[in-house]
Structure 1
Amino acid sequence: MSGKLSRRQALALGGGALLGAAAGTGTAAAATDWIRLPVVTANIGRTNLGARDDAIHDVRDADPGHRPLVGWQEICEGDTGERPMITRYFGNLYQNAFLWHDRSYRVPLSVPRPWKVVSSRATRVHGGIPKVTPPRWINEVVVRHESHPDLRFALINTHYIANAYNGDNRADLRDEWNLHKRVHKERVLAQHRLGRLVIWTADTNRRDYRDATGWQAEQQVFTGGIDRINWLPGNGDVQLQLRGTRTVPMRVDTHDARVAIFRIRLT
């Protein structure tokens, strides 16, 4: 155990009136044990549509015995098949945020119990370009643990435009990609400034992508490929540790789902 006292530990021991006033509360929340937290980024793809149902089933079992949090990409791009598939495998024990949103449905988030969505926000990045890209959005939720209301974090999911820095490498699409990067940074830092741990999932469509914010504190789970999971620590009340990674073969196209096995606790 670290010898450094957290803000809540200092309050519990006394002499923390100033810290308590700054936090806006006179009580300290109890620390928690470590809780397993699997997070998945899953692009469904469009090539082999018949493989989607099995792929979504396999994402649900990405960490056997545990319910994963999932950031999805390419939902309902071309048809509406994925919505009922996600609903089937991510049903009553999940909140499927944005899955039925009228505009930002392409990048929904599946959040399982014991986590509960307490707030959400959809941010439009840019409009669509005929035969090139649909409109692009950033979806975010704040979740809390049902048994530990102070154990909260933000989860953000998005999908950048393709062929700006990969594929065809079209310079005329880089304004849209660069705008997306700026808005992504703004949304991660907006949550961070509220003291929250931020985890984000994305198809970045750029293989040399490193981080959303440019901050040294932002951590990468995967350092190659275009499908990413990163995190930015908050004010220290919530601690996150990466314990391992996995890949889920999707068989729909060249994307495989990527899995980060975290553990999380309230300090």
Structure 2
Amino acid sequence: MESLSRRRALALGSGAALGTAGILAGAAGADAARARADGPESAGNWQRLVVVTANVGRDHRDERERAIRDVRHAVSIDGELAAPLVGWQEIGEGDDDGKEAGFIRKHFGSSFHNLFVGDKVAGHVPISVPRTFNVVDRRVTFAHGGKADVSPHRVITEAVLELAADPQVRFVFANTHYVAGAWNGKNDPAEAWRIKMWRRHFRKHRDDVLKHWHDKGYPVIWTGDVNRSPMPLLVPKKENRAFPRGIDQIAWLPGTNGTELRLKRTASVPMHVDGHDARVAVMQIRRG
């Protein structure tokens, strides 16, 4: 693993973590006031969509439950807790005591669809979907195999979601975690393998996920730890990134099915586990 200081610098990129979840909640409240001031469009057609990418990590294992709980409490608006759409990474990866999956089930319970939690193939990158959305379909795209003492296999988890209040609003949410060490500037015996697998993962992400769903008309929101900063755009001139730098990313590719997305603001939540802080994109979604 990279040192804590370098990993933290890569994870945060040019953004700065807000000191506490309470500060984040206050900022979200200000955003809500701005949204109300926007007029009937924001109060009517546009629906709030809070997206979080959260790498739990493994350095300070006693902080894992706190980290997962803080992700659940990332945004409160007008005293009401928002239900985030979360892409998780490193769940049970290197510390497979089963507790992280249990913490997700505990804090993201019956009010969420917790997809791939505990799954033998895709359990490292599960997804938590608030029940304001219906899960229409789900699948796993295999990125590449693992290598002993270097990296586990890598996959991309995907879910087709529809807004329960308006089923014509549909999009795809995808989550993933790229191999570490390919772009950290340090040489090791597995360096060539890491770079080859990272590039293979990039192609799978671009062609088998973004292009696959975009060809069907869906907009795609994706989250992940990409272990490269800055990361090249998967779809130049079309893909949007919530954060210009940092290895923890939230991005979206517009679709053609009439579902519209827009970004209102970004923030972060301290995780206290290792160099990662959870990153937050407060977005809006509607049928155009």
Q: Which of 89, 94, 98 is matched with 2:112 structurally? A: 94
Q: Give the number of the structure whose alpha-carbon radius of gyration is greater.
A: 1
Alpha-carbon separation, structure 1, partners of 2:260 and 2:225:
25
Task: Report the alpha carbon displacement of residue 211 of structure 1 after superposing the two structures with TM.
Answer: 2.0
Paired residue secondary structure (1:212) = coil
Q: Which of 70, 73, 83 is matched with 2:86 structurally? A: 70
Unaligned runs of 5+ in 1: 1-31
Specify which structure has the higher proportion of helix: 2
Q: Quick check: 1:190 aligned with 2:190?
A: no
Task: Report the alpha carbon displacement of residue 128 of structure 1 after superposing the two structures with TM.
Answer: 1.1
Q: Which of 110, 123, 132 is matched with 2:141 structurally? A: 123
Q: Which of 213, 222, 229 is matched with 1:200 structurally? A: 222
Paired residue secondary structure (2:284) = strand
**TM-align CA RMSD:** 1.2
| TM norm structure 1 | 0.86
Paired residue secondary structure (2:113) = strand
Structure 2 vs 1, CA of residues 82 and 263 (structure 1 numbering), >3 Å: closer, same or farther? same
Q: Which of 242, 245, 248 is matched with 1:224 structurally? A: 245
Q: Which of 34, 44, 48 is matched with 1:36 structurally? A: 48
Structure 2 vs 1, CA of residues 189 and 130 (structure 1 numbering), >3 Å: closer, same or farther? same
Alpha-carbon separation, structure 2, partners of 1:196 and 1:230:
14
Task: Report the alpha carbon displacement of residue 236 of structure 1 after superposing the two structures with TM.
Answer: 5.6
Paired residue secondary structure (1:185) = helix
Paired residue secondary structure (2:197) = helix
Aligned residues: 235
Alpha-carbon separation, structure 2, partners of 1:210 and 1:117:
30
1:158 paired residue number: 176
Q: Quick check: 1:108 aligned with 2:126?
A: yes
Task: Report the alpha carbon displacement of residue 163 of structure 1 after superposing the two structures with TM.
Answer: 0.3
Q: Quick check: 1:47 aligned with 2:59?
A: yes
Alpha-carbon separation, structure 2, partners of 1:216 and 1:194:
19
Paired residue secondary structure (1:262) = strand
1:16 paired residue number: none
Alpha-carbon separation, structure 1, partners of 2:164 and 2:255:
20
Alpha-carbon separation, structure 2, partners of 1:236 and 1:104:
28
Alpha-carbon separation, structure 1, partners of 2:55 and 2:210:
21
Paired residue secondary structure (1:217) = coil
| TM norm structure 2 | 0.79
Alpha-carbon separation, structure 1, partners of 2:206 and 2:251:
12
Alpha-carbon separation, structure 1, partners of 2:168 and 2:230:
36
Alignment map for 1:53-64 (pairs within 5 Å): 53-64=65-76
Q: Which one scores higher on RCO, CA 8 angstroms, separation ≥ 6?
A: 2
Alpha-carbon separation, structure 1, partners of 2:194 and 2:65:
32
Would you say the 8 A contact 1:121–1:140 is kept in 2? yes
Paired residue secondary structure (1:161) = coil
Would you say the 8 A contact 1:44–1:52 is kept in 2? yes
1:7 paired residue number: none
